[in-house]
Amino acid sequence: MTCKSETITLIGAGLNGPLLAIGLVKRGFLVEIYERRPNMRRVSISAGRSINLALSTRGIHALSQAGFWNEMRKITLPMKGRMMHSTSSELTFQPYGKNETEVINSISRAELNIALMNAAEALGVKIHFQQRCKGVDLKTGALHLHDEQTDEDRTLASSVVIGCDGSASAIRSEMLKLNRFNFSQQYLDYGYKELTIPAGPGGKHALEVNALHIWPRGNYMLIALPNVDGTFACILFLPFEGTDSFAQLTTPATLLEFFQSRFPDAVPLMPNLATNFFANPTGSMVTVKCSPWHVEGRTLLLGDAAHAIVPFFGQGINCGFEDCTCLLDLLDRHGADWKRVFAEFEDARKVNTDAIADMAVENFVEMRDRVADPRFLFRKKVEFALEAKFPQLFVPKYAMVTFHRVPYATALKRGQVQDSMLTELCAQIERIEDLDWNKADRLVRSQLTPLELPS
Ligand SMILES: Cc1cc2nc3c(=O)[nH]c(=O)nc-3n(C[C@H](O)[C@H](O)[C@H](O)COP(=O)(O)OP(=O)(O)OC[C@H]3O[C@@H](n4cnc5c(N)ncnc54)[C@H](O)[C@@H]3O)c2cc1C
């Protein structure tokens, strides 16, 4: 068993690394983080860091436990629902939750990252920048680091290493060399591009501020999340190849023509469209599943390193922060019995991270296509009506994932049952008044048990 004066080494000062470090330091451990990138507080933020994230209950719970949410909420903006923009520039609003408390929160990834690193350092965590982990000896814990500034390699002894190094984890690559290590990665045929809507006159938001804006176009979409400085962080999701794809948008003229016909109301809001588009790289999206996540009590994967998911449920970091909550709870229960803590951590989390990975892929179709379908919007209304009538029995899947800390695997399972109920109940009706409440009562009470909603 490791004693608390030993140093825990984290690889990656993205979002999970510093939050986990804060929790560990508060429990008396010494923590050092090795990060490949330069210190983003001193150099300009590179592409990929300027996107906004939707923070929801699981992430907020973890930040609250770290004593950090009250500070953070000052730089978030609540988004009460989706604002859909049609090709003829009509707007339709669809609330996320049953009331105004059920919102998701837009936050700049860079600002969250900086705030977490500041807080970790203030507690004594040492973050070493421009130190790329090249690998780890899983038997001895010897860490191989490359100094990106001096171009020198060195080896460092470690007792416990936690890989918080994201979807292309170097620690996971090392585990891939082990016998019977399970690994799958599935790329989408879609890429994404960061774009911006600048603030309007007087620093005002150019669109409704308390909404996540979506231009759903069947096979692809544009989204925009508000920032506190009056701007919107936008992401264009398009196929890499084929009709309406990144491959076709090769000149400012083709880009402008595409935007004018597909997203006409967005064009006047994006004066720097072509500059942003051609300056920013096209990102790819991958689902990674693997196991085991740990080697003895020495090495562990956490966050995207263990389970990268596509961004369409807005859960990647919420899920990663929930990993931190779970790991820290286990440490509180078992002390620094790392072997046991790591094994129980994977047992508790893997089934749930697999579930959110699958739900995130499914949600892409919902966001880019189904939200524009009046039948889908009607089903959403029926869902809210059922939730109001049968609280704790019928809780929409989106709410279970986003507004509660119900295990993701439970949300997936109950969501499937509820989906077939909705199909049956909505089959031949167009108005909520025509809902067969006797049938609804029978279906709900026979197929759903009361749901425990962790606070
Ligand atoms: C377009 C997009 C939109 C998203 N939207 C949302 C959202 O709305 N809500 C949400 O919850 N999630 C969202 N996510 C997911 C979220 O960004 C990730 O789940 C989250 O960043 C994972 O955190 P992490 O700390 O595990 O990894 P990362 O944030 O990727 O951090 C990993 C860190 O490790 C460092 N690193 C990598 N390799 C090495 C190495 N060899 N040596 C040293 N350091 C290394 C990296 O430089 C990085 O700083 C989105 C993701 C994308 C791509």
**Closest atom of ligand 1 to CA, residue 308:** 19
CA distance 55 to 68: 13
Closest residue by Cα to residue 216 from 281, 148, 266, 282: 266
Query: Hey, whose CA ends up nearest to atom 37 of ligand 1?
Result: 165
Radius of gyration of the chain from Cα atoms?
Answer: 23
CA distance 302 to 321: 9
- Cα 14 to ligand 1 centre (Å): 6
The band of 114, judged by pLDDT with boundaries at 50, 70 and 90, is very high
- Give the mean pLDDT of 23-52: 86
**Closest atom of ligand 1 to CA, residue 16:** 25
Instruction: Tell me what percent of the residues of the chain surpass a pLDDT of 90.
Output: 91
Q: At what angle do helices 408-426 and 374-389 cross, to 10 degrees?
A: 110
Amino acid in position 330: L
CA distance 291 to 354: 11
**Closest atom of ligand 1 to CA, residue 194:** 1
> Would strands 182-197 and 283-291 be described as parallel, antiparallel, or unpaired?
antiparallel
Which residues have a Cβ under 8 Å from the Cβ of 438 and sit 6 or more positions away?
A: none
Burial (CB count within 10 angstroms: exposed 0-12, middle 13-18, buried 19+), residue 203:
exposed
**pLDDT of 3 above 60:** no
The band of 49, judged by pLDDT with boundaries at 50, 70 and 90, is low
Instruction: Name the average pLDDT for the chain.
Output: 95
pLDDT at position 4 is 60
Q: Which is more confident, 3 or 69? A: 69
Ligand 1: residue of 304, 324, 353, 368 to mutate (most ligand atoms within 8 A of CB) is 304
The band of 368, judged by pLDDT with boundaries at 50, 70 and 90, is confident
**pLDDT of 280 above 90:** yes
21-25, 75-79, 369-373, 386-390: lowest mean pLDDT where? 369-373
The band of 272, judged by pLDDT with boundaries at 50, 70 and 90, is very high
What backbone torsions phi and psi does residue 127 show, to the nearest 5 degrees? -105, 120
Number of alpha carbons in the 13 Å side-chain half-sphere of residue 453: 15
What are the beta bridge partners of residue 131?
147
Extract the tokens encoding 334: 């078992």
- Cα 191 to ligand 1 centre (Å): 16
pLDDT at position 374 is 87
**pLDDT of 412 above 60:** yes
